[in-house]
C-alpha cells in the first residue's frame, strides 16, 4: 500500500514538474545544450536526475487541475531558459570576440558549422568556443548547474517561477557587458590590424611595386596569430571570470 500511495496525483505532478525543470536546463545551458548530444539522451538525463532529486523536493503548492498544471509546466520551462540565457550570454563573450578577430584577420568568409551550437560561425570563433567549452568543464559548471537546481527547489516552488524586473534589468546589463568585454578581448588584434594597415599604406605610397595581396595579408595573418597566442591565456581567464559572475548572479531568480 505504501507503493500505491507513492503514485498519487500530487507526487506524479511534482515529478513531472521537476522533470521539466531539468529538461529545460539541459536544453538551454552551455555544455548540456551541445548539438552533438541527442535529444533522447538529454531526456534520459533529465529523467535520471529527477529520480535522484525527487526525495529532496518540497511538497507541491499548486492546485491539481489542467490549467494550473499547464501554466506550471510553462513556468518550469521559463525557469530553465532564463538560467540558460544568463549563462549563455556570459559564454558568448568569447564567440563575439572571435567574430571580430576573424574579421580583422581576413577570415570572416572562412566559416564552418560549430558542433556546439549547430550554426555557421567564423573559424576563430569556433576555435575559441571549443577552448571555452573546455574551461567550462574545468570549472565544473555542469555540476554547479545541477546543484543549483537542487538549491532552487527550496527557493522557488515547483510551478512558482515568475519573471521579475530584476531579471530584465540584468539581461540588458549582461548583453551590454558582452559587447564591451568582447571588444576588450579583441582590441589587441584590432590595434595590430589598424597599425599594419597604416604601415602597408605607407609602403604602397613609397613602393608602388609592393603587392599587398601577396605579401601584406600573410604578414597580417601571421602577426595576428602571434598576438592571439600571446593573449590566449588572458582570454580564457576573462571567460572564466564572466561565467563565474553570471552563475553568482543567478541569485536574482530567487
Please measure the distance between the N-terminal and C-terminal CA atoms of the chain and give it in whole angstroms.
38
pLDDT digits (tens, 9 = 90+) for 86-133: 898 888 898 888 888 888 777 766 555 555 555 667 778 888 888 888
Distances (CA, A) of 183 to 69, 113, 176, 196, 206: 44, 23, 11, 19, 33
Sorted by sequence, the CB contacts under 8 Å of residue 127 that are 6+ apart come out as 98
For residue 85, CA distances in Å to 13, 45, 158, 243 come to 26, 20, 20, 12
> pLDDT at position 46, please?
87
Which residue bears the cell 591565456?
233
* Mean pLDDT, rounded, for 29-46: 81
Cα–Cα distances in Å, from 14 out to 121, 127, 146?
Answer: 40, 42, 18
Model pTM? 0.81
Residues in the chain: 254
pLDDT per residue as tens digits for the range 62-97: 777 788 888 888 888 888 888 888 898 888 898 888
Q: How far apart are CA 202 and CA 163, in angstroms?
A: 56
Bridge partner list, 185? none
Report how many domains make up the chain.
1
Domain around 30? 2-253
Computed over its alpha carbons, how large is the radius of gyration of the chain?
24
Amino acid at each position: 500500500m505504501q507503493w500505491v500511495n507513492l503514485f498519487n496525483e500530487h507526487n506524479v505532478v511534482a515529478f513531472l514538474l521537476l522533470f521539466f525543470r531539468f529538461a529545460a536546463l539541459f536544453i538551454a545551458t552551455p555544455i548540456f545544450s551541445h548539438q552533438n548530444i541527442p535529444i533522447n539522451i538529454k531526456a534520459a538525463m533529465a529523467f535520471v536526475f529527477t529520480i535522484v532529486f525527487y526525495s529532496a523536493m518540497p511538497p507541491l503548492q499548486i492546485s491539481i487541475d489542467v490549467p494550473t498544471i499547464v501554466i506550471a509546466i510553462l513556468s518550469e520551462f521559463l525557469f530553465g531558459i532564463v538560467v540558460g540565457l544568463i549563462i549563455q550570454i556570459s559564454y558568448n563573450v568569447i564567440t563575439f570576440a572571435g567574430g571580430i578577430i576573424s574579421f580583422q584577420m581576413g577570415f570572416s568568409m572562412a566559416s564552418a558549422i560549430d558542433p556546439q551550437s549547430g550554426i555557421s560561425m567564423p573559424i576563430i570563433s569556433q576555435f575559441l568556443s571549443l577552448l571555452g567549452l573546455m574551461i567550462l568543464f574545468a570549472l565544473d559548471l555542469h555540476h554547479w548547474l545541477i546543484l543549483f537546481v537542487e538549491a532552487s527547489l527550496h527557493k522557488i516552488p515547483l510551478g512558482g517561477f515568475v519573471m521579475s524586473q530584476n531579471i530584465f534589468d540584468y539581461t540588458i546589463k549582461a548583453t551590454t557587458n558582452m559587447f564591451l568585454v568582447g571588444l576588450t578581448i579583441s582590441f589587441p588584434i584590432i590595434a595590430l590590424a589598424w597599425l599594419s594597415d597604416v604601415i602597408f599604406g605607407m609602403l604602397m605610397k613609397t613602393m608602388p611595386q609592393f603587392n599587398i595581396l601577396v605579401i601584406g595579408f600573410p604578414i597580417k595573418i601571421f602577426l595576428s596569430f602571434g598576438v592571439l597566442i600571446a593573449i590566449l591565456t588572458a582570454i580564457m581567464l576573462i571567460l572564466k571570470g564572466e561565467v563565474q559572475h553570471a552563475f553568482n548572479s543567478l541569485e536574482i531568480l530567487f
